[in-house]
Structure 1
Amino acid sequence: MAPMAMAQDETTVTMIQCGDALAEGYDGFIKEWEENNPGYKVDVEIIGWSQCQEKITTLAAAGTPVGLAYVGSRTLKQFAENDLIVPVPMSEEEKASYYPNIVSTVTYDGTQWGVPVAFSTKALYWNKDLFEEAGLDPETPPKTWQELYDMAATITEKTAAAGYGLSAKTFDNTMHQYLHWVYTNNGKVTDENDEIVLDSPQNLEALTWYGKMVDVAQEGPTAYEQDDLTALFNDSKVAMIQQGPWVRVRLDEGLNWDVAPLPLGPQAEGPGTLLITDSLAVFKGTGYEEQAIDLAKWLTNPEHQFFYEKTHGLTPLRPVAGVEEMVAEDPTWGPFLDGISHGGPEPLFTDYKAFQNAMIDMVQAVVTGNKSPEDALKDTAEEIDAYK
């Protein structure tokens, strides 16, 4: 009878991990948390990326929520507006432990709604051999949009490769790619009052230049998303792409490449990039929300989080001990950190998918020449106001 009583007193904290396997280190971290929290056990369900977010949302909407789940931070506002998650407030000390602007990726209406668990920034990869073949200095990447265009034009003219890999496929990272241009020109989509400010001079310059890059890009940009472009870069068919740090270990051994901060627009105040995070969100209605918050913060504490980042090749969320050594050992990490200080968050919208689709349509309209940048930007700014 005693074992049965113990089982009845035990509470299971359910958790969904997106992907193919439990994140490296999590088995040990969870075991330690269970030892520190007697009476609670963690049950992790692994769900593939293609079904993960949909299942998490379906469970919450049906009133049978998972306790803790890995979600794209872009979804936090929608979950919060629908009263499906609980706040995960951070102390000032916790906020200060992150790199600048990271906490804004999980903040809505002044409240944090998740704990960042994965972070990506972008930098510019360039093929040194193609630069040299085109008569360019292989050690000098472009620092501005004008230099990017001019160098890409020279490569397109003097080699068999396209100068720049341009993404315009109906895919989420087409919007992300455009937002990198926004955040390297001191632009933003929403302001501190959550008002739409997409139709701005900075963003118009970004969209105009994005469309201009068609002239020096691979043929048919609407058929390509960023991973497709990585394959072209690996085959020396495009000379420059903007991608994340994980690509560094996926490039062919014989490829002669390097990486630099994203080129800057005329209004830039410093290096920039889109700051994308995924988060651990705590869902409402389980009865053990406090324990789930504690587990989320335990899994993502500075020591555990840095181990996770190193294992997965992700940009560090915090300037913890070990980051400087990591950059010293491999300087190609540096550009992915340089853009954080002037970077901007992925905007939070109640209907995020509608917002994303509107932004992709805008980019495609300009890339294909169906709309002027001015008209596309104005129309999209009016459209996305309904999705706040």
Structure 2
Amino acid sequence: MTNRLLLASMVTLAGSTGLATALQAEEISFIVCGDEIDPLYVGYIEEWEAANPDFPIATEVVGWGQCQDKVTTLAAAGTPVSLAYVGSRTLKQFALNDLIVPVPMTEEEKGAYYNYVPDTVTFDGTQWGVPVAFSTKALYWNKDLFEAAGLDPEVPPTTWAEKIAFAQQITEKTDAAGYGLVAKTFDNTMHQFLHWVYTNDGLIIDAEGNIVMDSPQVLAALTALKDITPFSEEGPTAYEQNEVRAIWLDGGVAMIEASPGAANLATEAGMNWGVAPLPLGPDAKGPGTLLITDSLAVFKGTGVEDKAIEFAKFITSPEKQWAYEMAAGLTPLRPVHSDELVAEKPYWKPFLDGIEFGGPEPLLTDYVGLQNAMIEMVQSVVTDAAEPAAALTKAAGELEQYK
């Protein structure tokens, strides 16, 4: 649907300079994923259009389930949208198919982000999108279930070995499962596994584009996942992360990995909860987490590429982005006001601490192929259809075709 803001700006231009001038304006079409445009974005667009009347913004809201497919279909058909909200994991595929343009960043711009955030939109030394949303995870636990199992409710696990041992004790001594395991055929099964990888200094693909996941660090992660499966909710292949979170909120599991938004949900549910950095594997160098970003991608062939880049950087400028993140409950992309955030809401600290040793989603040429190979690997291990070493070697071989 065309944004009412565009229509309003057209009417304004028609009244001041004539309808012909309004019709000559070079429209920047913008696909936004979700159910509605964030109210802050409405204000940002109004501000942009006031300063750039010849480049009005025409927004279209597309649901999360269809958004990526629509953007891809339009670009492949030669009728691209000017700007779109996409998962950063898709950027390499778009770029190699000559569908998007680079989004140059100065060293100052890159340096303003948290460590590794620019890496989520970079390959071959070039940035291909403007980061717009950021997610990190931490470990949440139900203090009442810890106490019921004979564990100290104020002391969460700090290592994988402790997490597995705590999960076993909770499973054996309460009616709840110790750990919420995500293994459904859904993208966040891969995401949740990558938290294990990045809390053990593991990698999927290195800086030169080599698949390096068949390593002792990643094998240890997959083995730990197998070891904790008996102490997780029954039938984990039926659950994605939001469904696991719902079981946790209902008291059915004691520990989950989740984003900052779970804090408010737990409080609303009346849970006695805590949050801490993700437990670490034996090779960890420090707190880690998967660093997931979404980005604004600028598509090729619209004639307004430069202005679309300018608009993308305008609405994600530090203060505007910070306001959007705080309204949406997102991990900050930049440490603009992080000290004040932690002082006001201490539970944010583990979500920020994990960034230093975190890692990005792997940028491959076929994200769906990557995702499917990783999901199949996880599912084969948690269902005992394959041993971790064999499953890992098989998945690593499959990923070679998607580099």
| Aligned AA (1:214) | T
Paired residue type of 1:105: T
Aligned-pair CA distance for 1:108: 1.3
Q: CA deviation at 1:8?
A: 3.6
Residue 247 of structure 1, CA deviation: 1.4
Where do residues 100-179 of structure 1 align in structure 2 (5 Å cutoff)? 100-179=115-194
The residue number in structure 1 matching 2:209 is 194
Q: Is the partner of 1:40 in helix, strand or coil?
A: coil
Query: Once the two structures are superposed, what CA deviation does each residue of 1:290-337 show, in whole Å capped at 9, x if it has no partner?
Result: 00000000010000100110011000000003x211211111111111
Q: Does 1:267 align with 2:289?
A: no
Q: Distance in 2 between matches of 1:246 and 1:20?
A: 18
Ranges in structure 1 where 5+ consecutive residues have no aligned partner = none
Q: Tell me what 1:258 maps to.
A: 274
Q: What is the DSSP-based 3-state SS (H/G/I as helix, E as strand, rest coil) of the residue aligned with 1:30?
A: helix
Give the whole-Å Cα distance in 2 for the aligned partners of 1:227 and 1:27: 28
Structure 2 match to 1:278? 294
Deviation at 1:37, TM superposition (A): 2.0
Distance 2:374 2:201 in 1: 18
2:318 corresponds to 1:302: yes
Q: Which amino acid aligns with 1:374?
A: A
Distance in 2 between the 1:308 and 1:30 partners? 13
Instruction: Give the structure-1-normalised TM-score.
Output: 0.98
Instruction: Provide, for residues 236-295 of structure 1, a one-character-per-residue CA deviation record: whole Å limited to 9, x for no partner.
Output: 110000011111122243110010000000000000000000000000000010000000
Identify which of 315, 332, 336 aligns with 1:316. Answer: 332
1:89-111 CA-partner distances (Å, limit 9, x unpaired): 11000000000000000001110
For 1:33, which of 48, 53, 65 is the aligned residue?
A: 48
After the TM superposition, which of the residue ranges 30-39 and 259-268 deviates more from structure 2?
A: 30-39
User: Does the residue aligned with 2:29 lie in a helix, a strand or coil?
Assistant: strand
What is the Cα-based RMSD across aligned positions, in Å? 1.0
Matches within 5 A, 1:229-244: 229-244=244-259
- Relative to structure 2, which stretch is displaced further, 138-147 or 252-261? 252-261
Letter in 2 for 1:300: T
Q: Distance in 1 between matches of 2:93 and 2:133?
A: 19
Helix, strand or coil at the partner of 2:203: coil
Amino acid across the alignment from 1:319: P
CA contact (8 A) 1:24 1:308 kept: no
> Matched residues in 1 for 2:252 and 2:42: separation?
42
Once residues 226 and 4 of structure 1 are traced to their aligned partners in structure 2, the CA distance between those partners, rounded to angstroms, is: 51
- Supply the AA of the counterpart residue of 1:281: A
CA distance in 1 between counterparts of 2:183 and 2:174 reads 23
8 Å contact from structure 1 (residues 24, 311) kept in 2: no
Q: Is the 8 A contact 2:249 2:269 kept in 1?
A: no
Unaligned runs of 5+ in 2: 1-13
Q: TM-score, with normalisation over the residues of structure 2?
A: 0.94
**Aligned 1:10-21 pairs, distance under 5 A:** 10-21=25-36
User: Quick one: distance in 2 between partners of 1:155 and 1:360?
Assistant: 27
For 1:184 and 1:69, how far apart are their aligned partners in 2? 32
Separation in 1 of the partners of 2:58 and 2:348? Answer: 35
Conserved 8 A contact 1:104-1:345:
yes
Kept in 2, the 8 Å contact 1:86–1:113? The answer is yes
SS of aligned partner of 2:374: helix
Aligned residues: 387
Residue number among 335, 342, 348 corresponding to 2:363 in the alignment: 348
Query: Are 1:330 and 2:330 counterparts?
Result: no
Amino acid at match of 1:103: P
* Residue correspondence of structure 1 range 62-81 to structure 2 within 5 A: 62-81=77-96
Q: Deviations over 1:342-377 (max 9, x none)?
A: 000000111110110000000011111111111010
Partner of 2:262: 247
Counterparts of 1:233 and 1:243, CA distance in 2: 11
Name the SS of the counterpart of 1:148 in structure 2: helix
SS at the partner of 1:10? coil
Q: Secondary structure at the match of 1:139?
A: coil
Inter-partner Cα distance in structure 2 for 1:207 and 1:185: 11
**Counterpart among 352, 377, 383 of residue 368 in structure 1:** 383
Aligned pair partner of 2:196 in 167, 170, 181: 181
How far apart are 1:36 and its partner, in Å? 2.0
| Of 235, 238, 241, the match for 1:223 | 238
Q: 2:34 and 2:279 mapped to 1: Cα distance? A: 33
